[in-house]
Amino acid sequence: MAVGFALLILTGAVLLTLPISASDGKSVGFLDALFTSTSAVCVTGLVVVDTGTRYSLFGQIVIMCLIQMGGLGIMTMTTTVFLLLGKKITLRERMVMQEALNQSTLSGLVKLSRNILITTLIFEGTGAALLALRFSQIYGPTRGIYYGIFHAVSAFNNAGFDVIGNFKSLTQFAEDPLINCVIMGLIIFGGLGFSVIQDIIARKKFKHFSLHSKVVIVTTLLLLVSGFLAFYAIERSNPYTLGGLSRKGKILAAAFQSVTPRTAGFNTISITDLKMPSKYLTILLMYIGASPASTGGGIKTSTFAVIIMMIYTILVSKEDVEISGRRIPYDNIFKAAVIGVIALLLIFTSSFILTITENTDFMSILFETTSAFGTVGLSLGLTPNLTDIGKVVIILTMFAGRVGPLTLAMALGGRTNKAMIRFPEERVLVG
Amino acid sequence: MAVGFALLILTGAVLLTLPISASDGKSVGFLDALFTSTSAVCVTGLVVVDTGTRYSLFGQIVIMCLIQMGGLGIMTMTTTVFLLLGKKITLRERMVMQEALNQSTLSGLVKLSRNILITTLIFEGTGAALLALRFSQIYGPTRGIYYGIFHAVSAFNNAGFDVIGNFKSLTQFAEDPLINCVIMGLIIFGGLGFSVIQDIIARKKFKHFSLHSKVVIVTTLLLLVSGFLAFYAIERSNPYTLGGLSRKGKILAAAFQSVTPRTAGFNTISITDLKMPSKYLTILLMYIGASPASTGGGIKTSTFAVIIMMIYTILVSKEDVEISGRRIPYDNIFKAAVIGVIALLLIFTSSFILTITENTDFMSILFETTSAFGTVGLSLGLTPNLTDIGKVVIILTMFAGRVGPLTLAMALGGRTNKAMIRFPEERVLVG
Ligand SMILES: [K+]
Ligand SMILES: [K+]
């Protein structure tokens, strides 16, 4: 699986190294092409060169295809892995997926992939059409349609790449309701995960949803609302971000800022000019990320929710971790804790190396590393100025952040044999 | 228990507010006195005013007594809690403590406390005598003996308070082998925890130690050695820290720098002038901290070790977390994970508030908050310049970092009743 991703990245890197991929016919060089390709396949969106101006139309379409393959690939594979490796969600969840499971594995897989593909195309198609309406008014029909398609693909796959130019992302559309709402919608649905979208379509009523869908939806809503309120409160009077906008613009931009760290990576206001608490909060949101079996990254909303419920359970001296009348199994809780800690160790290791190789402030380093791990793509401006070692570190972090959790899930899925001989128990004092 | 600590802190604060406690006869004010008292009782060592110059001899002795009571209190209480609340280490461990346990609870407690007191006095007495030898050469006999006692108490209790003056800590003794070695020895033994010291004295041979003692000793050694190597490598050529020292001085200072974040808080080189990777590494070491049932803080070496072994177990697809031929029980692993995460949430919350209230860089804020949580006392210089809200936040963080883990341990110790009705299991996808 990791090998497949690596091959796709390498192919992309070779294509992007070609002179035909560059806007001025001069190759961007292999390291920068590798960085771009990794960022696209891992749907991260961190860029060392500006996508809109440095790459030709050919290069941009290569990037769009890499995003689509990376996004679809991860969504299909995670959904498959969770279904096939015995990590089924519940009997209920399985019933929704029964088309895919009641048949032979291969044909079931084909059906599942087709369903995911169709869902993706419906969302991206609708999004692209709506975006094209607006972009056509600004850039004319041809460019408008192309921009519509590119940004719809980039948004639904939580890639965060843009072709507007000059590293500006969507800042000039900060007050545009249509573009903001469409992009936010695509990001949110892309980040919910296929099984949750299926649940919403098939069951309609919240109380009939699987526990997983309930946890994902509630956690996502809580994060979005609290993020919005916090960004609005902190940045309202900051002249470099929300301060200069109209009342409506302030609300739109604060909402967008709470959506994008999970884990889209577009921005409508200047990330560099955010106040320190906002940057810090963004780091936390990027770490948490989107939901499992989606196009987004991070440790995932459900992982975060299980960890929080684990703490709550311990604090109120309860025996079981219970959510919505269901008990979460021990191995499930463990896995959540392990994913949370491994993510932290990865972020620590990468940012530790960057504190040695890069000459910048600590916040920028931690922000950029978390962004790379969570495949977010937001940046305080460090990425375009990275040293070569720094680029390699960020490339590896993006890759680990993308394929790491899935590989872990696969490894954990296979754990069924109990050890024959177990050692005697002995406890150590902790805390 | 938390109430006892709070009362001690308040009493200390009132005493330190008295004009007689200040060197110039003018009260330091209640907030600063409260800060100092909290810092002393929680054996943290963060200071808003300089201990050596701002407080009178009376004030300094009050501080020394607060340190001693805080340190002894926490050591006795944690050891007791772990023994009495069923969180016994093992049958073996119990045998070491059998004097204390074979009798009635009350008289057992008295014996245990006496053993801890005697151990403390032996270490502090020896340390004070050795330090006084050297300090007398510099400051004359009276002051030398006083300095010896104060700094031995401060070191064994991992308090990090000094009376050298002008926030300089032990920087002028960076190359003094006697002072360095005595202080390092006191810090390390104070941070090992009473049960480990007992184990070393009673059993002598490593292979006969309890699992807990083995884990603590190995983790401590690994952290010390890797910290030493890292600091030496990073700071060797930094003219503001190790660069200006002799070869011997470099080794001494790098060693001291790896010992002090666990969680003593003295410094022999300028912490502010450390390179960024060293500061970052110091934050990690402060977060990990010392060992349970000791005078040190942090999440504890054994907690860290269990978390690392949990990750290793998952990565190699094993069923049980095994250390040295022993299996760690599930609830033990959980508790370690919960402590690790709660600590992070606490540090995040405190530092988030400080990014709003304080006007400084992110590294300083994260460093100071972790130092307060781990009751370390190292500082990048933010503490003396804190706003009033900032002081309150740090006071609460020190308090939570000190009594939090113990309160948690007590709460967990009582968890014996299984819930009568359990909810059905249902899993959520994580990662
Ligand atoms: K992204
Ligand atoms: K300390």
The string of pLDDT tens digits covering residues B186-200 is 999 988 888 888 888
Residue A306: which of B277, B326, B430 has the nearest Cβ? B430
- C-beta atoms of B90 and A193 within 8 A: no
Q: Which residues of A touch B87 (CB under 8 A)?
A: 427, 429
Residue B425: which of A87, A329, A345 has the nearest Cβ? A329
Distance from CA of B408 to the nearest CA of A (A): 7
- For residue B424, the Cα-to-chain-centroid distance in whole angstroms is 42
Q: Give the pair of three-digit tokens for residue B196.
A: 């480990």
Spacing, Cα B279 to ligand 1 middle (Å): 30
| B110 occurs within a structural domain | yes
| B93 occurs within a structural domain | yes
Residue (of A382, A112, A96) closest to A212 by Cα position: A96
Residue B427: which of A89, A216, A425 has the nearest Cβ? A89
Distance from CA of B3 to the nearest CA of A (A): 18
Can you tell me whether residue B9 is helix, strand or coil?
Answer: helix
- For residue A369, the Cα-to-chain-centroid distance in whole angstroms is 14
- In this prediction, residue B83 carries a pLDDT of 65
Q: Which residues of B touch A418 (CB under 8 A)?
A: 319
Tell me how far CA of residue A318 lies from CA of A162, A335, B244, B417, B427, in angstroms: 48, 20, 56, 9, 18
For residue B155, which ligand has an atom nearest its CA? Answer: 2
- Tell me the H-state helices in B236-315: 247-259, 276-288, 301-315
Q: Which residues of A touch B315 (CB under 8 A)?
A: 408, 411
Q: Which residues of A touch B363 (CB under 8 A)?
A: 361-363
List the single residue in B with minimal CA-CA distance to A87.
B429
- In this prediction, residue B96 carries a pLDDT of 47
Whether residue B267 contacts residue B158, with contact meaning beta carbons closer than 8 Å, is answered with no
Q: Which residues of B touch A215 (CB under 8 A)?
A: 428
| B423 occurs within a structural domain | no
List the single residue in B with minimal CA-CA distance to A355.
B277
Q: Which residues of A touch B195 (CB under 8 A)?
A: 429
Whether residue B88 contacts residue B82, with contact meaning beta carbons closer than 8 Å, is answered with yes
- The per-residue pLDDT for range B94-133, each reduced to its tens digit, is 444 444 434 445 566 677 778 888 888 999 999 999 999 8
Domain of residue A205: give its range.
2-412
Q: Which residues in chain B come in under a pLDDT of 70?
A: 1, 81-109, 405-431
- In this prediction, residue B431 carries a pLDDT of 59
Distance from CA of B326 to the nearest CA of A (A): 5
Q: Which helix (H) or strand (E) holds B323?
A: strand B322-323
Residue A423: which of B210, B320, B425 has the nearest Cβ? B320
- In this prediction, residue A96 carries a pLDDT of 47
| A304 occurs within a structural domain | yes
For residue A41, which ligand has an atom nearest its CA? Answer: 1
Q: Is the sign of the CA dihedral B43, B46, B52, B58 positive or negative?
A: negative
Dihedral of CA atoms A2, A3, A8, A12 in degrees, nearest 10, equals 100
Q: What CA–CA distance (Å, rounded) separates B373 from A264?
A: 33
Q: Which residues of B touch A422 (CB under 8 A)?
A: 319-320, 327
| A41 occurs within a structural domain | yes
Spacing, Cα A44 to ligand 2 middle (Å): 41
| A336 occurs within a structural domain | yes
- C-beta atoms of B423 and A336 within 8 A: no
Residue (of B406, B133, B140, B209) closest to B296 by Cα position: B406
| A419 occurs within a structural domain | no
pLDDT, averaged per 10 consecutive residues of chain A (431 residues), comes to: 82 89 84 89 86 86 89 76 53 45 55 83 92 88 88 89 79 84 91 84 80 89 93 88 85 90 85 90 92 85 90 78 80 82 91 92 93 90 87 89 71 49 65 58
ipTM of the complex: 0.84
Whether residue B280 contacts residue A351, with contact meaning beta carbons closer than 8 Å, is answered with yes
Residue of B345, B360, B429 to mutate, interface with A, max A Cβ within 10 Å? B429
Q: Structural domain tally of chain A?
A: 1
Residue A427: which of B277, B328, B337 has the nearest Cβ? B328
- C-beta atoms of B314 and A408 within 8 A: yes
Q: Which residues of B touch A335 (CB under 8 A)?
A: 314, 430-431
Spacing, Cα A239 to ligand 1 middle (Å): 27
Can you tell me whether residue A289 is helix, strand or coil?
Answer: coil
- C-beta atoms of A419 and B89 within 8 A: no
Spacing, Cα B33 to ligand 2 middle (Å): 17
Beta bridge partners of B425: A327
| B419 occurs within a structural domain | no
Distance from CA of A423 to the nearest CA of B (A): 5
